[in-house]
Amino acid sequence: MASVDGKWALITGSSRGIGQQIAMGLAAGGCHVILHARRVEHLDQTMALLSAASVNIHRVAGDVGTAEGRSAIVQGVREGPNQVDILYNNAAIMSPWKELWDISEADWQQTFAVNLFGLVELCRALVPGMWSRNFGRVINVSSGIKDIPQLAPYSVSKAAVEKYTADLAAELRGSNVLVNALDPGWLKTDLGGPGADYEVETVLPGALVPALLDEGGESGTVFRAQDYRVGRARS
Ligand SMILES: NC(=O)c1ccc[n+]([C@@H]2O[C@H](COP(=O)([O-])OP(=O)(O)OC[C@H]3O[C@@H](n4cnc5c(N)ncnc54)[C@H](OP(=O)(O)O)[C@@H]3O)[C@@H](O)[C@H]2O)c1
């Protein structure tokens, strides 16, 4: 298993929830982290949690659902380490709960802008640098959601995330840039809600597995964080 020690990781949506856990997990492995949220002040809690970590921390802000927000994020990276070795595309929104027939085009547009186009454009901006440096790990956060038509824009956006992940992996085949998706499990976060199956901490250590792959490791697959849950019975 490779080490993340000394690498730079951008974790989108690391102000709370799953992204915050991933940032802490990567930092515990010696990885320098670029934290991200829509506004830099949203990152105060994560900064406090990382106060004892002996890694470099840089902060960027921007709405991944808009071109301006994505430009601000990329500009923020350039003004900081100017390098991303691990891109953890985690930021996303849940679409509003509506009967399928009531879901508007605007609902679809907004969900796809944040959950799909944000991630596609960040890959387009940052993956060529990984390719030229011959190292990169891209992890796109997906979901195991199914058969909930009231949340169709969200679930369809995540299906598209997995398809894009496979296409990007195919484009990069033979290089040392590995691209995978992560299904974190249903977790108690602002997005997952209080009735979710598991605590948010259970996303670790599984969420780190696709970041720790050796050269030649899997690419284009979906990792399931709950398969690595501490204390989970192995079959
Ligand atoms: N929780 C679950 O049960 C579950 C299950 C399957 C998949 N997932 C996926 O896991 C990922 C994280 O979910 P979570 O439960 O941790 O969500 P969360 O607690 O709601 O956190 C969302 C994060 O994304 C950021 N964000 C939201 N909208 C954004 C935008 N337009 N532009 C930039 N950043 C934005 C938020 O930053 P701000 O501080 O700026 O709001 C926050 O850091 C998502 O991809 C989600 O689809 C979650």
Pocket of ligand 1 (CB under 6 A): 13-19, 37-39, 42, 63-65, 90-93, 114, 141, 143, 184, 186-187, 189-192, 196
Percent of the chain with pLDDT over 90: 97
Instruction: List the catalytic residues.
Output: 154
Whether the pLDDT of residue 22 is over 80: the answer is yes
The token pair at 199 is 């605590």
Is the CB of residue 114 less than 8 Å from the CB of residue 65? yes
pLDDT of 55 higher than 80: yes
Question: According to the model, what pLDDT value does residue 231 have?
Answer: 83
| Mean predicted lDDT score pLDDT of the chain | 97
| 3-state SS, one letter per residue, for the chain | CCCCCCCEEEECCCCCHHHHHHHHHHHHCCCEEEEEECCHHHHHHHHHHCCCCCCCEEEEECCCCCHHHHHHHHHHHHHCCCCCCEEEECCCCCCCCCCHHHCCHHHHHHHHHHHHHHHHHHHHHHHHHHHHHCCEEEEEECCCCCCCHHHHHHHHHHHHHHHHHHHHHHHCCCCCEEEEEEECCCECCCCCCCCCCECHHHHCCHHHHHHCCCCCCCCCCEEEHHHHCCCCCCC
Residue nearest to atom 48 of ligand 1 (CA): 192
Quickly state the pLDDT bin for 233 (edges 50, 70, 90): low
Question: What's the confidence (pLDDT) of residue 131?
Answer: 97
Q: What is the pLDDT of residue 2?
A: 82
8-228 has which CATH code? 3.40.50.720
Angle between helices 152-171 and 118-133 (to 10 degrees): 20
Token pair of 83, please? 């390098």
What tens digit of pLDDT does each residue of 74-93 get?
Answer: 999 999 999 999 999 999 99
Cis geometry, peptide bond prior to residue 205 (ω within 30 degrees of 0): yes
Higher pLDDT, 234 or 114: 114
State pLDDT tens for residues 192-225. Answer: 999 999 999 999 999 999 999 999 999 999 999 9
Task: Give the confidence band of 234 by pLDDT, cuts at 50, 70, 90.
Answer: low
Q: How far apart are CA 81 and CA 61, in angstroms?
A: 15
Confidence bin at 46 (pLDDT 50/70/90): very high
- Matching residue, tokens 């299904």: 183
Q: 174 alpha carbon to ligand 1 midpoint, in Å?
A: 32
Give the list of residues 6+ apart from residue 188 with CB closer than 8 angstroms, or none: 194, 195, 196, 198, 199, 200
Do 219 and 170 form a contact (C-beta atoms < 8 A)? no
Does the pLDDT of residue 165 top 90, yes or no?
yes
Name the residue ranges covered by the structural domains of the chain. Answer: 8-228
Asked whether the beta carbons of 96 and 142 are under 8 A apart, the reply is no
List the residue whose alpha carbon is closest to atom 8 of ligand 1: 143
Pocket test residue of 14, 138, 154, 189 for ligand 1, highest count of atoms within 8 A of CB = 189
Distance 207 CA to ligand 1 centre (A): 15
Contact indicator for 33, 9 with CB cutoff of 8 Å: yes
